[in-house]
Amino acid sequence: MSFHSTAAQLATLAAEGEEHGGNHESLSPYVTGGGAFLLLLLLLWITTRFNRDR
């Protein structure tokens, strides 16, 4: 697969995405961002529990 054909396929895919907008009615950016933030805080807490010797 050449660079030109890959770029053409990606451009076609991006143009199709404009029609749909990319957002679902049930997806709230605040809920998604808040959930990701809480997940990262949980992972940070778990990581610090395993590194007690530092």
Cα-Cα-Cα-Cα dihedral sign, residues 18, 24, 30, 35? negative
Residue 14 CA to residue 54 CA, distance in Å, equals 47
Q: How confident is the model over 22-45, as pLDDT tens digits?
A: 667 777 889 999 999 999 999 999
Which DSSP symbol is given to 22? S
Residue 34 CA to residue 40 CA, distance in Å, equals 10
Reply yes or no on whether the pLDDT at 9 is more than 80: yes
